[in-house]
Copies of this chain bind each other. A is one copy, B any other.
Amino acid sequence: VRVDLNADLGEGFGIWRLGDDDALLDVVTSANVACGFHAGDPLTMRRVCARAAERGVAIGAQVSYRDLAGFGRRRMDVEPEELAADVLYQIGALAAFARLAGDRVRYVKPHGALYHVVADDPRQADALARAVAGYDRQLPLLGLSGSALHRAADQHGVHFVAEAFADRSYRADGRLVARGEPDAVLHDPDTVATRSVEMIRSGTVQTIDGTPVPVRVESLCLHGDTAGALELAGRVRAALQAAGVTLAPFVR
């Protein structure tokens, strides 16, 4: 049994920092590196790529709407052609730093509002999958299983990797309970750690109603933007290792 652990990295900009990249690089096996559109200046990108490569952490392009002021968290009505070009620009920029580190970009994951939009909107999902296919059909997309992006990736012949969330409640239909609703986010470290192991072992997750539902977990998404989140991420990693789960990038 094996799983990948992914988290967002390099999300500072210029003088500003967000989270502890170095600590998080000791936890994850895949790094979603910000590419400059919602966060991520070139120096930070270079440093994160260098350290990820040293540790054998897979480098992924965390692509976003062009929105530094809103950290890419605001839905934008970007034309598909323009979105595709924006995505290519970001992948290419990150690829330079991966190359400098003797490595390359291994996957693409949408960030923030784009992540949510491409889960439902076929036009933007198609634009993102088409951009990735145009750049390199071998490059996988990481996202939500069963989403519009998943279908678009299939259509464009792009390998889709499904991620799951150990600290989020699931509904009976397998989707996440929306943030803001009661008990949408789980905070107890023991619960989250135990849940991680169960999701991976059983291929199911206990829904908010108490019934199990199948879940595809090729990668678990962790967070490191606060001290608490980082500690939780470490707990999940330790629990998985204790349970004999192999932690490794989903890409070879």
Q: How many positions in chain A have a CB within 8 Å of any CB in the partner chain? A: 45
Interface string of A79-112 (1 = CB under 8 A from B): 1011001101111111111011000000000000
Q: Is A216 an interface residue (CB 8 A)?
A: no
Q: Given the known A-B contacts A41-B69, A66-B69, are A97 and B93 also in contact in the complex, defined by CB atoms under 8 Å?
A: no
Contact pick for A92, options B67, B78, B92, CB 8 Å: B92
Residue of B whose beta carbon sits closest to that of A117 = B77
Which residues of chain B are near A75, meaning CB under 8 Å? 75-77
Which residues of chain B are near A82, meaning CB under 8 Å? 42-43, 70
Q: Is A243 an interface residue (CB 8 A)?
A: no
B88 touches A14 (CB 8 A): no
Which residues of chain B are near A79, meaning CB under 8 Å? 74
A78 touches B71 (CB 8 A): no
Which residues of chain B are near A41, meaning CB under 8 Å? 69, 85
Q: Is A214 an interface residue (CB 8 A)?
A: no
Which residues of chain B are near A13, meaning CB under 8 Å? 13, 16, 68-69
A93 touches B99 (CB 8 A): no
Which residues of chain B are near A88, meaning CB under 8 Å? 42, 46, 96-97, 100
Docked CA distance A198–B71 (Å): 46
B100 touches A135 (CB 8 A): yes
Q: Is A224 an interface residue (CB 8 A)?
A: no
A70 touches B14 (CB 8 A): yes
A96 touches B100 (CB 8 A): no
Q: Is A12 an interface residue (CB 8 A)?
A: yes
Interface string of A8-24 (1 = CB under 8 A from B): 00001111111000000
B18 touches A15 (CB 8 A): yes
Could you list some 20 contacts between A and B, CB below 8 A? A15-B39, A15-B71, A41-B69, A41-B85, A42-B88, A42-B89, A43-B81, A45-B85, A68-B68, A74-B79, A75-B76, A75-B77, A76-B76, A85-B97, A88-B100, A91-B96, A92-B93, A92-B97, A95-B95, A100-B135
